[in-house]
């Protein structure tokens, strides 16, 4: 009897163990199906381009019924709106989103801190850093005390809520905003800022398979041998937008657009420089509306263009051109304030070459325009002065002369009589009448 009871208890225990194992397996993956992970690389400043790329990755994972999205992150920060949009995408994703800060030497600064906090699984490679999430005003200026407090409190409540929802170290995330602290990957793992330190995305997935991935109130487990990583190919729209939102590209488009408009305004009728310049300028203004840009820097660049335009019409002996070059140089230096939204300053070498080349082109255009204004007219009535003609008819101090194959009414300045066939020289041209005088020392046969 005792033996039968022991056998029944053993069978019941085995059944419970089997049931527990079945429950712990992820839905649809117990039969050896591959665990698909859509991988996407996000680097550089956080902007609408990166937001769109993350949305593309999540949509691709949902479409192919993948099990996870893995974001390889390296960012100095970015705009607050793009960061919030990306956090909302991560929190609302139908599949877990893991964030790995890597490879070694990468960072998750400023806006990147919030992406790590929102992830279902957060990991960092060795020799990487995270932190410095204090809000920086767009344009690099100083906010008044009340506004600064409002912005900081808003960011604090946001990061607190995100970190709490993922069970991470809320106190440290608050310090990252309030005190701009920054720590290494090993320190982040010890402080429970992240879940683990992983050498590579594959290492991250192997550790996640052993520990499980929290998602939807459950613990997702899978076989590391069944993992299949699917790299996401960025769309053309992302590539174009990322190219346009590069600070150097936006800077080149801005100066190129200004140069095109200068050539069109200084020499009306060329059309092509004006059309191309307007197109470049519109693209640049769109990029600058998203990138953290100094209004003073933009105003100085426009002021420099105005000075070059004035040089065409005002005799300043080059002083306006020199002032224009100075305005372009200073405006370029302060156009992108360092540390504002993760956008670095433009390299001085880039500024020097660009401003120098543009100054040479604009200076050459100013020189040619001034030379054209000083040259004798080559068309119109004023160009008739000095031309030779032949008297066709003359009576009582007036008559008609042929100049350039055209018949003109003419008089003489002294009222003298002229014989038909005589060669005359145009002294004045007014209205539709010419004032002529007998030509001397002419060798041309005008008859």
CB 111 within 8 A of CB 79: yes
Burial class (CB in 10 A: 0-12, 13-18, 19+), 193: buried
Task: Provide the residue count of the chain.
Answer: 447
Q: What is the pLDDT of residue 328?
A: 92
Q: What is the pLDDT of residue 3?
A: 46
Q: Which residue has the tokens 């022991």?
A: 6
CB 411 within 8 A of CB 435: yes
Looking at per-residue pLDDT, the higher value among 247 and 339 belongs to 247
pTM above 0.75, yes or no: no
Least confident window among 78-82, 117-121, 326-330, 361-365: 361-365
What does the alpha-carbon distance between residue 426 and residue 410 come to, in Å, rounded to a whole number?
9
Looking at per-residue pLDDT, the higher value among 385 and 163 belongs to 163
Report CA torsion sign: 424, 425, 427, 431: positive
Q: What is the pLDDT of residue 79?
A: 86
Looking at per-residue pLDDT, the higher value among 105 and 10 belongs to 105
Q: What is the pLDDT of residue 414?
A: 76
Q: What is the mean pLDDT of residues 28-34?
A: 59
Q: What is the mean pLDDT of residues 327-338?
A: 87
Predicted confidence (pLDDT) at residue 333 exceeds the cutoff of 50: yes
Looking at per-residue pLDDT, the higher value among 271 and 144 belongs to 271
């Amino acid at each position: 009897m005792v033996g039968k009871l022991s056998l029944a208890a053993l069978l019941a225990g085995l059944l419970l163990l089997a049931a527990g194992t079945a429950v712990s397996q992820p839905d649809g993956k117990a039969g050896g199906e591959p665990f698909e992970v859509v991988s996407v690389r996000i680097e550089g400043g956080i902007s609408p381009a990166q937001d769109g790329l993350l949305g593309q990755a999540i949509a691709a994972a949902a479409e192919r019924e993948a099990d996870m999205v893995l974001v390889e992150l390296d960012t100095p920060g970015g705009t607050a709106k793009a960061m919030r949009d990306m956090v909302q995408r991560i929190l609302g994703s139908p599949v877990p989103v893991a964030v790995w800060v890597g490879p070694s030497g990468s960072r998750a600064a400023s806006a990147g801190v919030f992406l790590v906090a929102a992830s279902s699984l957060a990991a960092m490679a060795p020799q990487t850093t995270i932190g410095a999430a204090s809000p920086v005003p767009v344009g690099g200026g100083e906010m008044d005390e009340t506004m600064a407090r409002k912005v900081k409190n808003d960011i604090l409540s946001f990061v607190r809520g995100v970190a709490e929802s993922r069970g991470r170290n809320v106190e440290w995330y608050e310090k990252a905003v309030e005190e701009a602290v920054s720590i290494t990957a090993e320190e982040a793992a010890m402080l429970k800022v992240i879940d683990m330190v992983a050498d590579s995305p594959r290492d991250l997935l192997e550790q996640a398979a052993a520990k499980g991935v929290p998602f939807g109130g459950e613990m997702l487990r899978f076989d590391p041998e069944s993992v299949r990583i699917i790299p996401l190919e960025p769309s053309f729209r992302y590539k174009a937008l990322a190219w346009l939102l590069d600070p150097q590209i936006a800077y080149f488009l801005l100066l190129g657009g200004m140069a095109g408009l200068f050539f069109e305004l200084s020499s009306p009728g060329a059309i092509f420089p004006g059309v191309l310049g307007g197109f470049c300028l519109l693209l640049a203004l769109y990029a600058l509306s998203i990138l953290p840009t100094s209004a003073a820097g933009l105003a100085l660049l426009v002021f420099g263009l105005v000075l070059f335009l004035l040089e065409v019409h005002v005799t300043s002996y080059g002083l306006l051109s020199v002032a224009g070059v100075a305005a372009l140089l200073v405006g370029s230096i302060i156009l992108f304030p360092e540390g504002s939204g993760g956008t670095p300053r433009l390299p001085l070498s880039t500024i020097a070459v660009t401003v120098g080349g543009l100054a040479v082109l604009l200076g050459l255009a100013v020189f040619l325009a001034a030379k054209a204004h000083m040259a004798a007219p080559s068309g119109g009535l004023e160009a008739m002065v000095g031309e030779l003609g032949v008297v066709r008819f003359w009576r009582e101090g007036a008559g008609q002369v042929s100049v350039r194959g055209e018949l003109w009414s003419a008089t003489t300045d002294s009222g003298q009589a002229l014989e038909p066939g005589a060669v005359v020289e145009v002294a004045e041209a007014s209205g539709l009448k010419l004032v002529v005088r007998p030509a001397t020392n002419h060798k041309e046969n005008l008859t």
